[in-house]
Amino acid sequence: MKLLRSSAVVGLMTLLSRVLGLVRDILLARYLGAGVINDALITATKLPNLFRRMFAEGAFNAAFVPLYARRLEGEGEEAANNFAGEAFAALFFLVAIIVIAFQLTMPISLNLIGGGLGKVATGPEGVIPYDLAVLYARITMPYLIFMSLGALFSGMLNSKNHFAIAAFAPVFLNVVWIGFLIAQVQMDLPPERLAFWLAVGMTVSGVLQIGILIYGLRRAAIRLPLKRPRITPGVKRLFTLGVPGLIAAGITQINLLVTHNIATLKPGAPSWLYYSDRLYQLPLGMIGIAMGIALLPTLSRSLRAERHEEAMSTLNRATEIAAFLTLPAAFALFLIPDYLISTLFERGRFLESDSIQTAKALKMFALGLPAFVLIKVLTPTFFAREDTRTPMIFASASAVVNAGLGFLLFFTIGFYGLALATTLAAWGNVACLAVTQRKRGHFTLDSALKKSLPKMVIASALMGAAVYYLAALSEPYMNGHMLWDYTVMIVVCALGGAVYLALSLALRVFSPREIRAAFSKSKP
């Protein structure tokens, strides 16, 4: 349970980022809506994010953190920092080549992710969506460099138990975008010009994020020596571990690329999927990503010291905490998606028809929320043992299933079939990860987890029924005024949370003593 304290630090910072992200998306929906211009902007932002998840958060981070942590434990800070300097040089060289290649070929290469965007003038603005996406993507692509290097800095900070600044850095993207969107009120820019400045803001935020991470390194007294790119034994080992992860992340991101490309065949679908994705990402970011970030260095230290029982207990508690926080969110998002989407986004250029379509996708994503979180919890158990190959195989299989199902469901039930395919593929990935860990003796459910899981499901289901009733009860009190409607919605959600906590205490999911112990300080 002590893992909860470090996860809570990351979770709170991530929650701040996600809440600001929600504010950003509310403003984005108001001023850009779900039309072709927003489709073009979303496509442009997906391109650097796609490669960021492959090179930074995916393959590189999974390989770098255990190797850096091992040097800290066994060889000391100087050796660890020298290795980090070598990794920095290699990563910067690789990512810079990718960015330059895309800048030179963007009019052609954007077809990989936005081939379905219109290539003739559409809408009342008379713009060409594909040409706008090319322009915006050229502006956003340098963001990849800053985020890739930021992942390395964050990995160093996390390995030394400095979680807060690394988790806070992504806030800058939301702050910059919110600033531009608020300025829109005064400038009254046409949608395509507003989208242009949002693309600029994305890259500017990357510079700010790198700045605060460098400040964090200095504050933590972590030295990063600058080196020229070369293949040292440490870099070679990094690539050996990173290639399977790169393949896994690459296949997953290619799958997302295919999914987005399919979505662009229906005008508005990329935007509907985006807004639904952003809403379920709120609990996923706070719980799953935060848990995974805190879990990897914790497990790595336990395994380096051969404290295997401690590692097993840590994984059980991580699963328990993740389930406790995720299950009620999944029930709520599945049962009241229309209520949430219409209250949050339906104003300005975001129409009632957009709310209906977005809610369909959110319902499908809600079914997969526990799976998305469990993947973040189970995958670090492989990475901590320097096994990046096994998750690669499972992620690859999941990606193939996702792409095949997504293509089939898109043309049978509609665009939200893409969200359902993602959910089904995620549950398949979870099953593979869990069964493999159990066969290897690395993860078995302990008695505490076996007792608490059914209680959490019961409490979440009853809470879901309560929020469904409360949402219906509150509808007549909605009057179209944003602040009032938000207040009513927050009251409904808060009452649902209170019901869940009361039921959890009544069912004794956790004892008060365990909760106090969870937040007590622990030694690194």
pLDDT higher than 80, residue 200: yes
Span 23-47, pLDDT tens digits:
898 899 888 887 888 889 988 998 8
Rounded Cα–Cα distance for residues 470 and 61 (Å): 43
Q: What is the pLDDT of residue 9?
A: 62
Q: Where are the alpha helices (DSSP H) in 110-142?
A: 111-114, 129-140
Of 15-24, 137-146, 317-326, give the range with the top mean pLDDT.
137-146
Span 438-450, pLDDT tens digits:
888 877 787 888 8
Average of pLDDT values for 50-67?
Answer: 68
Single-letter residue type at 147: M
Rounded Cα–Cα distance for residues 432 and 417 (Å): 23
DSSP state of 141: T
Position 258 confidence tier, pLDDT thresholds 50, 70, 90 = confident
The sign of the dihedral angle between the CA atoms of 92, 98, 104, 110 is negative
Q: What is the pLDDT of residue 391?
A: 83
Percentage of the residues of the chain whose pLDDT score is greater than 90: 29
**The two structure tokens encoding residue 355:** 């709310």
Q: Where are the alpha helices (DSSP H) in 170-232?
A: 171-187, 191-219
Q: Match 């879901």 to its residue by tokens.
A: 464
Q: Length of the chain, please?
A: 524
Position 116 confidence tier, pLDDT thresholds 50, 70, 90 = confident
pLDDT higher than 90, residue 105: yes
Neighbouring residues of 495: CB distance < 8 A, sequence distance ≥ 6: 466, 467, 470
Q: What is the pLDDT of residue 472?
A: 93
Percentage of the residues of the chain whose pLDDT score is greater than 70: 83
The tally of CA atoms less than 13 A away on the side-chain side of residue 462 is 15
DSSP state of 306: T
- Closest alpha carbon to 410 in 456, 463, 360, 453: 360
pLDDT higher than 50, residue 521: no
Average of pLDDT values for 63-85?
Answer: 80
Rounded Cα–Cα distance for residues 177 and 29 (Å): 13
Q: What is the pLDDT of residue 512?
A: 57
DSSP state of 287: I
Q: What is the pLDDT of residue 374?
A: 86
Contact between 92 and 229 under an 8 Å Cβ cutoff? The reply is yes
Q: What is the pLDDT of residue 32?
A: 87
Rounded Cα–Cα distance for residues 297 and 69 (Å): 7
Average of pLDDT values for 93-108?
Answer: 92
Span 300-338, pLDDT tens digits:
666 666 666 767 777 787 788 788 888 999 999 999 999
Average of pLDDT values for 136-163?
Answer: 86
- Closest alpha carbon to 222 in 53, 397, 71, 325: 71
Span 207-249, pLDDT tens digits:
999 999 999 998 888 888 888 888 888 888 887 776 766 666 5
Position 255 confidence tier, pLDDT thresholds 50, 70, 90 = low
Q: Give the dihedral of Cα atoms 18, 20, 21, 22; nearest 10 deg.
A: 90
- Closest alpha carbon to 299 in 285, 325, 319, 327: 319
Name the residue with higher pLDDT: 1 or 227.
227
Position 169 confidence tier, pLDDT thresholds 50, 70, 90 = confident
Mean pLDDT of the chain: 82
Q: What is the pLDDT of residue 496?
A: 93
Name the residue with higher pLDDT: 452 or 513.
452
pTM, rounded to two decimals? 0.73
Residue 167 Cα distances to 209, 434, 466, 481, angstroms: 10, 27, 33, 34
Query: Which residues on adjacent β-strands are paired with residue 127?
Result: 122
Q: Where are the domains of the chain?
A: 1-32+268-524, 35-263
Q: Residue 109, exposed/middle/buried by CB under 10 A (0-12, 13-18, 19+)?
A: middle
Of 101-115, 222-236, 462-476, give the range with the top mean pLDDT.
462-476
**The two structure tokens encoding residue 1:** 């349970």
Rounded Cα–Cα distance for residues 382 and 385 (Å): 5
Span 351-407, pLDDT tens digits:
889 999 999 999 999 999 999 888 878 887 787 777 777 887 888 888 888 888 988
Q: What is the pLDDT of residue 7?
A: 55
Q: What is the pLDDT of residue 124?
A: 55
Residue 470 Cα distances to 9, 473, 490, angstroms: 31, 5, 11
Position 522 confidence tier, pLDDT thresholds 50, 70, 90 = very low
Rounded Cα–Cα distance for residues 18 and 9 (Å): 14
